[in-house]
Amino acid sequence: METMSLQEVWDRVVGTQPDPPRWLVAATGIAAILAVLYRPVWRPLRTVVTIAHEGGHALAALLTGRRLTGIRLHSDTSGVTVSVGKPTGFGMVLTAFAGYVTPSFLGAGGAALLVNGHITMTLWVTLLWLALMLLMIRNLYGAFALIVVGGVVFAVSWLAKPDVQAGFAYLLVWFLLAAGIRPVIELQQLRRRRQAQWSDADQLATLTRIPGAVWVGLFALLSATAFGTAAGWLLA
């Protein structure tokens, strides 16, 4: 079996690849949107969104000086990130805010990489995100979910042909962009039925005295803006 030096691996990751055909970009976009809209497919794939969501909480906590103590992912696609620090103030607000917008922001970041030819890098940045989360995971299902998703991404990035890599990377980015919007809609539906009293939006309302509906609207605005902006890049 042929081996690769670290330099060759690095060159492979940071190098650029040819742009895929326009039809592939459009087809993966349509497939991702359908996956988000079709409930039987959305249900299992929602774990991917939860990974991004909880990772966003964790990153915001670390960036604002809070001490991250653990992340849990559950089989019902919910999750929780626990950090220790001042219970009020900017750090807590940013930590609570980050979850719902992170999938869309990650999708936009991935789109920026893809339009510059960094298909393999997009997949390896995803692997890095998953690996760092795995260090902080505190339950068996969460570890299992991260390993399975990471294993799929690694297999595609290392073993698949360039056209398969491109299709998978574009599908992943489109999915994050589209999937960032649906949980915000679901959140407001739960809030309307008074079934989400401890949601991120309601925590933010308690922290800032700004109504939870305003925070939900901001989540929706940012997610929709990220989708529209990144879609323009990908389809240009």
Q: What per-residue confidence (pLDDT) applies to 123? A: 97
**DSSP of 131-176:** HHHHHHB-SHHHHHHHHHHHHHHHHHHHHS-HHHHHHHHHHHHHHH
Please give the structure tokens belonging to residue 213: 């509906």
The DSSP bridge partners found for residue 84 are: 67
Domain range list for the chain: 20-235
125-143 pLDDT per residue, tens: 999 999 999 999 999 999 9
122 class by beta-carbon count within 10 Å (0-12 exposed, 13-18 middle, 19+ buried): buried
139-164 pLDDT per residue, tens: 999 999 999 999 999 999 999 999 99
The pLDDT-based confidence of 1 (bands split at 50, 70, 90) is very low
How is the chain split among helix, strand and coil, in percent rounded to 5?
75, 5, 20
Alpha-carbon 235 to chain mean position: 21
**pTM more than 0.85:** yes
Residue 63, CA distances (Å) to 58, 95, 98, 114, 165 in order: 9, 9, 11, 26, 32
